Amino acid sequence: MASKVKWYNDTQMVGTLLLFWPPLGVYGLYKSETIESKWKNLAYGTLALVCMLLASIYLV
């Protein structure tokens, strides 16, 4: 019986979800065992930067 790959271990799926459905994409990024930590940190940092920019635009 072939082993099934979890959806969050598919890097293309996680990347697509990050673009089109960010909450699920961030969860997949957190759970992923195949994505290297440097890419995870880059994605988290980018997400934090975007959130801070949007908050600063909204609050000004």
Q: With cut-offs at 50, 70 and 90, classify the pLDDT of residue 5.
A: confident
Instruction: Express each pLDDT in 6-55 by its tens digit.
Output: 999 999 999 999 999 999 999 999 999 999 999 999 999 999 999 999 99
Q: 56: exposed, middle or buried (C-beta count within 10 Å: 0-12, 13-18, 19+)? A: exposed
Q: Is the pLDDT of residue 1 over 90?
A: no
Residue 1 falls within a domain, yes or no? Answer: no
Residue 2 lies in a domain: no
Q: Which domain holds residue 55?
A: 7-59
Residue 48, domain member (yes or no): yes
